[in-house]
Amino acid sequence: MGDNIFLKIIRKEIPADIVYEDDDILAFRDIHPLAPVHILIIPKKPIASVASLEAADGPLVGKMFLVAQGIARDLNISEKGYKLLIRVGRDGGQEVPHLHLHLIGGARLTENIHPV
């Protein structure tokens, strides 16, 4: 797998507004936020997308969702709600080939998923 912008953020080669980090997971604010809260939760392990997950990655993916839950609580958007989004591959609109979970909230969100 080649290099990409999220691997550079993991290696701290380029800056990011990090809101959570542990040995397995990094979470940082999206550079082009779609809402007041827009955070990307990524595994440190280089996984290109949901399409390339292996059975052994199950606990790591589960942890990504638990981290999202915790960040939402910390930012006080848990009760009002939020959107979690994962794009997969070209037709899914995935731009960065490193698995990432979007946590989007802080405002009432409209549906905005149309075929191209």
Active-site positions read 100
Rounded to the nearest whole angstrom, what is the least distance from the CB of residue 9 to ligand AMP in the complex? 6
Size of interface with ligand AMP, in residues (CB under 6 A): 11
Nearer to ligand AMP, 79 or 102 (CB): 102
Residue 83 binds to ligand AMP (criterion: CB under 6 A) = no
User: Which amino acid is present at 96?
Assistant: V
Residue 55's Cβ-count burial label (10 Å; 0-12, 13-18, 19+) is: exposed
Q: Quick one: 55 or 113, whose CB is closer to ligand AMP?
A: 113
**Measured between alpha carbons, how far is 107 from 52 in angstroms, rounded to an integer?**
32
Helix or strand holding residue 33 (H, E): none
CA 112/CA 3 separation, integer angstroms: 30
Task: Select the span of 62-70, 74-82, 94-102, 104-112 touching ligand AMP (CB under 6 A).
Answer: 94-102
Q: Give one word for 102, left, alpha or beta, with left for phi > 0 and alpha for psi -120 to 50.
A: beta
Closer residue to ligand AMP (CB): 79 or 95: 95
Residue selected from 2, 23, 32, 91 as contacting ligand AMP according to rule CB under 6 A: 32
Q: What is the contact surface with ligand AMP in residues (CB under 6 A)?
A: 5, 16, 30-32, 40, 87, 93-96
